Protein backbone atom coordinates (compact mmCIF):
# COMPACT_ATOMS: atom_id res chain seq x y z
CA UNK A 1 0.00 0.00 0.00
CA UNK A 2 1.19 3.58 -0.62
CA UNK A 3 2.89 5.05 2.45
CA UNK A 4 3.88 1.67 3.91
CA UNK A 5 7.25 -0.02 4.03
CA UNK A 6 7.88 -3.58 5.23
CA UNK A 7 11.27 -4.56 6.61
CA UNK A 8 12.18 -8.11 7.59
CA UNK A 9 14.13 -8.12 10.84
CA UNK A 10 14.63 -11.83 11.41
CA UNK A 11 13.69 -15.25 10.05
CA UNK A 12 12.62 -17.48 12.94
CA UNK A 13 14.25 -20.95 12.87
CA UNK A 14 11.28 -23.06 13.94
CA UNK A 15 13.29 -26.06 15.15
CA UNK A 16 15.33 -23.84 17.45
CA UNK A 17 12.96 -21.04 18.51
CA UNK A 18 9.51 -22.43 17.74
CA UNK A 19 6.45 -20.52 16.51
CA UNK A 20 6.17 -17.00 17.93
CA UNK A 21 2.65 -15.98 18.98
CA UNK A 22 3.17 -13.01 21.31
CA UNK A 23 5.24 -9.80 21.30
CA UNK A 24 6.01 -7.06 23.80
CA UNK A 25 8.29 -4.01 23.81
CA UNK A 26 10.47 -2.77 26.67
CA UNK A 27 11.39 0.90 27.36
CA UNK A 28 14.61 0.53 25.33
CA UNK A 29 12.73 -0.49 22.20
CA UNK A 30 13.68 -4.14 22.40
CA UNK A 31 11.12 -6.82 21.60
CA UNK A 32 10.22 -9.91 23.57
CA UNK A 33 8.69 -12.88 21.73
CA UNK A 34 7.22 -16.13 23.03
CA UNK A 35 6.96 -19.54 21.46
CA UNK A 36 3.54 -21.18 21.43
CA UNK A 37 4.86 -24.44 22.87
CA UNK A 38 8.06 -25.22 24.77
CA UNK A 39 10.85 -23.08 23.29
CA UNK A 40 10.56 -20.25 25.81
CA UNK A 41 11.05 -16.51 25.35
CA UNK A 42 13.58 -14.49 23.36
CA UNK A 43 14.65 -10.85 23.39
CA UNK A 44 15.15 -9.12 20.05
CA UNK A 45 17.29 -6.00 19.65
CA UNK A 46 16.41 -4.67 16.18
CA UNK A 47 19.16 -3.58 13.80
CA UNK A 48 20.00 0.12 13.70
CA UNK A 49 18.29 2.12 10.95
CA UNK A 50 21.65 3.16 9.52
CA UNK A 51 22.77 -0.45 9.21
CA UNK A 52 25.59 -0.08 11.73
CA UNK A 53 24.33 -3.03 13.79
CA UNK A 54 22.51 -6.25 13.03
CA UNK A 55 19.41 -7.68 14.69
CA UNK A 56 20.36 -9.61 17.83
CA UNK A 57 18.14 -12.42 19.17
CA UNK A 58 18.88 -13.80 22.66
CA UNK A 59 17.17 -16.48 24.71
CA UNK A 60 15.58 -15.17 27.91
CA UNK A 61 16.95 -17.20 30.86
CA UNK A 62 13.65 -17.18 32.77
CA UNK A 63 12.15 -20.68 32.76
CA UNK A 64 8.79 -19.91 31.20
CA UNK A 65 7.05 -20.72 27.92
CA UNK A 66 3.66 -20.81 26.20
CA UNK A 67 2.92 -17.09 26.61
CA UNK A 68 -0.01 -15.75 24.61
CA UNK A 69 0.15 -12.31 26.19
CA UNK A 70 3.08 -10.17 27.34
CA UNK A 71 3.35 -6.62 28.66
CA UNK A 72 6.22 -4.51 29.97
CA UNK A 73 4.94 -2.46 32.91
CA UNK A 74 6.05 -1.48 36.41
CA UNK A 75 9.71 -2.32 35.56
CA UNK A 76 8.97 -5.97 34.77
CA UNK A 77 7.59 -8.22 32.06
CA UNK A 78 4.12 -9.60 32.73
CA UNK A 79 3.39 -12.88 30.98
CA UNK A 80 0.05 -14.64 30.49
CA UNK A 81 0.73 -18.32 29.88
CA UNK A 82 -1.73 -20.61 28.14
CA UNK A 83 -0.55 -24.11 28.93
CA UNK A 84 3.24 -24.34 28.66
CA UNK A 85 4.60 -23.47 32.09
CA UNK A 86 1.03 -23.56 33.39
CA UNK A 87 -1.90 -21.26 32.62
CA UNK A 88 -1.70 -18.10 34.68
CA UNK A 89 -0.30 -14.60 35.15
CA UNK A 90 3.45 -14.37 35.79
CA UNK A 91 5.89 -11.55 36.54
CA UNK A 92 9.45 -11.70 35.19
CA UNK A 93 12.23 -9.57 36.71
CA UNK A 94 16.02 -9.17 36.64
CA UNK A 95 17.27 -10.49 39.98
CA UNK A 96 20.97 -9.62 39.68
CA UNK A 97 21.13 -6.43 37.59
CA UNK A 98 22.67 -8.00 34.47
CA UNK A 99 19.83 -6.77 32.19
CA UNK A 100 18.47 -10.31 31.72
CA UNK A 101 15.10 -11.52 32.97
CA UNK A 102 15.83 -14.54 35.13
CA UNK A 103 13.30 -14.53 38.01
CA UNK A 104 9.76 -15.89 37.57
CA UNK A 105 6.91 -15.17 40.00
CA UNK A 106 3.46 -16.67 39.48
CA UNK A 107 0.83 -14.13 40.52
CA UNK A 108 -2.34 -16.08 39.71
CA UNK A 109 -3.30 -19.49 38.32
CA UNK A 110 -5.91 -19.62 35.56
CA UNK A 111 -8.12 -22.69 35.27
CA UNK A 112 -8.32 -23.32 31.54
CA UNK A 113 -6.03 -23.50 28.56
CA UNK A 114 -5.68 -24.44 24.93
CA UNK A 115 -6.97 -22.35 22.05
CA UNK A 116 -9.77 -20.94 24.23
CA UNK A 117 -7.65 -20.22 27.30
CA UNK A 118 -6.17 -16.96 28.65
CA UNK A 119 -4.73 -14.65 25.99
CA UNK A 120 -3.38 -11.09 25.88
CA UNK A 121 -2.69 -8.49 28.58
CA UNK A 122 -2.86 -4.67 28.45
CA UNK A 123 -2.10 -1.76 30.75
CA UNK A 124 -5.10 0.40 31.67
CA UNK A 125 -5.13 3.94 30.21
CA UNK A 126 -4.41 5.45 33.64
CA UNK A 127 -1.42 3.15 34.07
CA UNK A 128 -2.62 1.55 37.31
CA UNK A 129 -4.16 -1.82 36.38
CA UNK A 130 -3.61 -4.83 34.17
CA UNK A 131 -6.37 -6.05 31.84
CA UNK A 132 -6.45 -9.67 30.63
CA UNK A 133 -8.71 -11.22 28.01
CA UNK A 134 -9.71 -14.91 28.12
CA UNK A 135 -11.56 -17.41 25.97
CA UNK A 136 -14.61 -19.37 27.04
CA UNK A 137 -12.68 -22.41 28.31
CA UNK A 138 -11.22 -20.27 31.10
CA UNK A 139 -12.78 -19.84 34.53
CA UNK A 140 -12.72 -16.46 36.30
CA UNK A 141 -9.42 -16.16 38.24
CA UNK A 142 -11.18 -15.96 41.59
CA UNK A 143 -13.62 -18.19 43.41
CA UNK A 144 -17.24 -18.20 42.21
CA UNK A 145 -19.72 -20.11 44.38
CA UNK A 146 -23.22 -20.95 43.19
CA UNK A 147 -25.80 -19.66 45.66
CA UNK A 148 -28.43 -20.95 43.25
CA UNK A 149 -27.56 -23.45 40.52
CA UNK A 150 -27.44 -22.31 36.87
CA UNK A 151 -30.24 -23.32 34.52
CA UNK A 152 -28.35 -25.35 31.95
CA UNK A 153 -31.13 -26.09 29.46
CA UNK A 154 -34.23 -23.86 29.53
CA UNK A 155 -37.08 -22.53 31.60
CA UNK A 156 -38.30 -19.55 33.60
CA UNK A 157 -36.91 -18.94 37.07
CA UNK A 158 -39.05 -18.22 40.08
CA UNK A 159 -36.02 -16.93 42.00
CA UNK A 160 -33.16 -14.97 40.49
CA UNK A 161 -29.86 -16.77 39.99
CA UNK A 162 -27.10 -15.67 42.40
CA UNK A 163 -23.39 -16.34 42.71
CA UNK A 164 -21.07 -15.46 45.56
CA UNK A 165 -17.60 -14.10 44.74
CA UNK A 166 -14.44 -14.76 46.74
CA UNK A 167 -12.94 -11.94 48.81
CA UNK A 168 -10.31 -11.23 46.13
CA UNK A 169 -12.89 -10.89 43.34
CA UNK A 170 -15.46 -8.27 42.34
CA UNK A 171 -17.59 -7.81 39.24
CA UNK A 172 -18.78 -4.87 37.16
CA UNK A 173 -21.61 -7.19 36.09
CA UNK A 174 -24.33 -8.09 38.58
CA UNK A 175 -23.35 -11.39 40.20
CA UNK A 176 -26.37 -13.21 38.76
CA UNK A 177 -25.12 -14.46 35.40
CA UNK A 178 -27.09 -17.38 34.04
CA UNK A 179 -27.90 -19.08 30.75
CA UNK A 180 -31.25 -17.23 30.49
CA UNK A 181 -32.87 -19.63 28.04
CA UNK A 182 -36.53 -19.90 27.11
CA UNK A 183 -36.10 -22.35 24.21
CA UNK A 184 -34.35 -25.61 25.05
CA UNK A 185 -30.67 -25.61 24.11
CA UNK A 186 -29.00 -28.07 21.75
CA UNK A 187 -25.34 -28.60 22.61
CA UNK A 188 -22.83 -28.68 19.76
CA UNK A 189 -23.09 -31.98 17.88
CA UNK A 190 -19.32 -32.47 17.98
CA UNK A 191 -19.15 -31.80 21.70
CA UNK A 192 -17.35 -28.46 21.49
CA UNK A 193 -17.85 -26.36 24.64
CA UNK A 194 -20.49 -28.79 25.92
CA UNK A 195 -21.17 -27.92 29.54
CA UNK A 196 -19.44 -24.53 29.33
CA UNK A 197 -21.71 -21.97 30.98
CA UNK A 198 -21.87 -18.23 31.60
CA UNK A 199 -19.94 -16.01 31.96
CA UNK A 200 -18.13 -17.54 28.94
CA UNK A 201 -15.12 -15.63 27.65
CA UNK A 202 -14.35 -12.51 29.65
CA UNK A 203 -12.12 -9.52 30.37
CA UNK A 204 -10.74 -9.04 33.89
CA UNK A 205 -8.50 -6.47 35.51
CA UNK A 206 -6.12 -6.68 38.45
CA UNK A 207 -3.58 -4.64 40.38
CA UNK A 208 0.17 -4.84 39.58
CA UNK A 209 0.66 -7.60 42.18
CA UNK A 210 -2.27 -9.71 40.99
CA UNK A 211 -3.97 -9.62 44.38
CA UNK A 212 -7.44 -8.17 43.69
CA UNK A 213 -9.42 -9.05 40.55
CA UNK A 214 -12.45 -7.54 38.86
CA UNK A 215 -14.63 -8.96 36.10
CA UNK A 216 -15.00 -6.15 33.55
CA UNK A 217 -17.01 -7.66 30.67
CA UNK A 218 -18.23 -11.14 29.69
CA UNK A 219 -20.22 -13.19 27.19
CA UNK A 220 -17.45 -13.67 24.61
CA UNK A 221 -16.56 -16.82 22.71
CA UNK A 222 -12.80 -16.62 22.18
CA UNK A 223 -11.35 -13.11 21.82
CA UNK A 224 -7.55 -13.23 21.52
CA UNK A 225 -6.67 -9.54 21.66
CA UNK A 226 -8.10 -6.12 22.48
CA UNK A 227 -7.13 -2.46 22.70
CA UNK A 228 -7.91 0.87 24.34
CA UNK A 229 -8.63 3.84 22.11
CA UNK A 230 -7.53 7.42 22.79
CA UNK A 231 -10.67 8.03 24.87
CA UNK A 232 -9.95 5.05 27.12
CA UNK A 233 -12.70 2.93 25.54
CA UNK A 234 -11.96 -0.78 25.21
CA UNK A 235 -12.57 -2.82 22.05
CA UNK A 236 -12.15 -6.58 21.52
CA UNK A 237 -12.14 -8.84 18.46
CA UNK A 238 -14.19 -11.98 19.16
CA UNK A 239 -14.31 -15.32 17.34
CA UNK A 240 -17.12 -17.13 15.56
CA UNK A 241 -18.08 -20.81 15.81
CA UNK A 242 -17.30 -21.85 12.24
CA UNK A 243 -19.31 -25.07 12.48
CA UNK A 244 -22.44 -22.97 13.06
CA UNK A 245 -22.09 -21.13 9.74
CA UNK A 246 -25.50 -20.93 8.05
CA UNK A 247 -27.43 -21.65 11.24
CA UNK A 248 -29.78 -19.08 12.83
CA UNK A 249 -27.59 -18.88 15.93
CA UNK A 250 -24.32 -18.28 14.02
CA UNK A 251 -22.42 -15.17 15.12
CA UNK A 252 -19.60 -13.95 12.84
CA UNK A 253 -16.25 -12.76 14.10
CA UNK A 254 -16.90 -9.25 15.32
CA UNK A 255 -15.45 -6.20 17.00
CA UNK A 256 -17.12 -5.51 20.33
CA UNK A 257 -17.18 -2.33 22.37
CA UNK A 258 -16.19 -3.83 25.72
CA UNK A 259 -17.86 -1.35 28.03
CA UNK A 260 -17.75 -1.63 31.80
CA UNK A 261 -20.21 -4.28 33.00
CA UNK A 262 -21.21 -5.39 29.50
CA UNK A 263 -22.65 -8.80 28.62
CA UNK A 264 -22.07 -9.92 25.01
CA UNK A 265 -24.38 -12.94 25.10
CA UNK A 266 -22.25 -15.92 24.16
CA UNK A 267 -23.83 -19.17 25.28
CA UNK A 268 -22.80 -22.68 24.24
CA UNK A 269 -24.49 -24.55 21.41
CA UNK A 270 -27.70 -23.04 20.03
CA UNK A 271 -28.22 -20.79 23.06
CA UNK A 272 -26.35 -17.68 21.90
CA UNK A 273 -28.31 -14.53 22.60
CA UNK A 274 -29.53 -12.63 19.52
CA UNK A 275 -28.07 -9.14 19.18
CA UNK A 276 -31.56 -7.69 19.65
CA UNK A 277 -31.77 -8.86 23.27
CA UNK A 278 -31.96 -5.68 25.39
CA UNK A 279 -29.52 -7.04 28.00
CA UNK A 280 -26.91 -8.09 25.42
CA UNK A 281 -24.53 -5.56 23.91
CA UNK A 282 -24.51 -6.02 20.10
CA UNK A 283 -21.37 -5.99 17.96
CA UNK A 284 -19.80 -2.70 16.95
CA UNK A 285 -18.79 -4.28 13.62
CA UNK A 286 -19.55 -7.74 12.22
CA UNK A 287 -16.57 -9.06 10.23
CA UNK A 288 -17.47 -12.57 9.02
CA UNK A 289 -15.84 -16.01 9.20
CA UNK A 290 -12.29 -16.13 10.53
CA UNK A 291 -10.03 -16.65 13.54
CA UNK A 292 -9.17 -13.45 15.44
CA UNK A 293 -5.60 -13.02 16.65
CA UNK A 294 -3.68 -9.75 17.17
CA UNK A 295 -5.39 -6.36 17.53
CA UNK A 296 -4.10 -2.85 18.19
CA UNK A 297 -4.85 0.81 17.61
CA UNK A 298 -2.47 2.62 15.26
CA UNK A 299 -1.61 5.54 17.53
CA UNK A 300 1.99 6.71 17.12
CA UNK A 301 2.80 4.28 14.31
CA UNK A 302 4.77 5.59 11.35
CA UNK A 303 1.98 4.90 8.89
CA UNK A 304 -0.26 7.19 6.80
CA UNK A 305 -2.18 9.62 9.01
CA UNK A 306 -5.61 8.31 7.93
CA UNK A 307 -4.82 4.96 9.56
CA UNK A 308 -3.29 6.17 12.82
CA UNK A 309 -6.71 6.33 14.49
CA UNK A 310 -7.80 2.92 13.19
CA UNK A 311 -8.25 -0.29 15.17
CA UNK A 312 -6.20 -2.94 13.38
CA UNK A 313 -7.41 -6.52 13.72
CA UNK A 314 -5.77 -9.64 12.32
CA UNK A 315 -7.44 -12.82 11.10
CA UNK A 316 -5.39 -16.03 11.17
CA UNK A 317 -7.70 -18.10 8.92
CA UNK A 318 -7.43 -15.97 5.79
CA UNK A 319 -4.22 -14.10 6.65
CA UNK A 320 -6.03 -10.76 6.60
CA UNK A 321 -5.54 -7.50 8.48
CA UNK A 322 -8.51 -5.12 8.75
CA UNK A 323 -8.43 -1.44 9.68
CA UNK A 324 -11.59 -0.48 11.60
CA UNK A 325 -12.29 3.25 11.68
CA UNK A 326 -14.75 5.17 13.83
CA UNK A 327 -17.37 7.10 11.85
CA UNK A 328 -16.79 10.02 14.22
CA UNK A 329 -15.62 10.61 17.77
CA UNK A 330 -18.84 9.29 19.30
CA UNK A 331 -19.83 6.65 16.74
CA UNK A 332 -17.64 3.53 16.88
CA UNK A 333 -19.02 1.78 13.83
Give the C-alpha separation, 313 to 292, whole Å.
Answer: 7
Specify the long-range contacts of residues 245-248, CB closer than 8 Å, at least 24 apart: 245/289
138 alpha carbon, distance to own chain's centre: 11
Percent of the chain with pLDDT over 90: 79
Domain that holds residue 46: 14-324
Within-domain flag for 61 = yes
- DSSP of 220-265: ES---EEEE-TTS-EEEEEPP-GGGTTSTT---EEEEE--TTEE--
Domains in the chain, number: 1
State the chain's mean pLDDT as an integer.
93
Within-domain flag for 122 = yes
Q: Is the pLDDT of residue 45 over 90?
A: yes
Q: How confident is the model at residue 328 (pLDDT cuts 50, 70, 90)?
A: low
Within-domain flag for 121 = yes
Out of 172-186, 250-264, 295-309, 315-329, give the one with best mean pLDDT. 250-264
Give the C-alpha separation, 45 to 53, whole Å.
Answer: 10
Q: Is the pLDDT of residue 214 over 90?
A: yes
The CA-atom distances, in angstroms, between 163 and each of 2, 78, 112, 181, 282 are: 54, 30, 20, 18, 25
236 alpha carbon, distance to own chain's centre: 8
Within-domain flag for 118 = yes
- DSSP of 70-108: EEEETTEEEEEESSTT-SEEEEEE-SSSSS---EEEEEE
Provide mean pLDDT across the span 84-95: 96
| Whether pTM exceeds 0.75 | yes
Within-domain flag for 3 = no
Provide mean pLDDT across the span 116-123: 98
Within-domain flag for 2 = no
Residue in 107, 256, 261 with CA at minimum distance from that of residue 170:
261
Within-domain flag for 305 = yes
- DSSP of 94-158: -SSSSS---EEEEEEE-S--GGGSEEEEEE-TTSS-EEEEE-TT---SS-EEESS---SS----S
Within-domain flag for 331 = no
pLDDT for res 331: 53
Query: pLDDT tens digit string along 150-159?
Result: 888 777 777 7
Give the C-alpha separation, 61 to 77, whole Å.
Answer: 13
Contact 85, 64 (CB under 8 A): yes
Q: What is the CATH number of the domain that holds 145?
A: 2.120.10.30
Q: How confident is the model at residue 113 (pLDDT cuts 50, 70, 90)?
A: confident
- The torsion of the CA quartet 243, 198, 295, 190, rounded to 10 degrees, works out to -20
Phi, psi for residue 95 in degrees, rounded to 5: -85, -20
Q: How confident is the model at residue 330 (pLDDT cuts 50, 70, 90)?
A: low
- The one-character DSSP state at 192 is T
Amino acid sequence: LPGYQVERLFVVPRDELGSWVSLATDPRGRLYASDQQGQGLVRITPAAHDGSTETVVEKVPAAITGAQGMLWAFDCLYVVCNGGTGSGLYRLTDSDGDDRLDAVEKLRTFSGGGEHGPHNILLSPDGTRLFIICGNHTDPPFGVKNVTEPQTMAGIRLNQRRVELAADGTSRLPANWDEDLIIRRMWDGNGHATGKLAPGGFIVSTDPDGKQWELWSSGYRNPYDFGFNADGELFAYDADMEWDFGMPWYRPTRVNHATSGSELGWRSGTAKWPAAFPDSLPAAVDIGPGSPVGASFGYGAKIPAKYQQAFFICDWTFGTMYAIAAADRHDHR
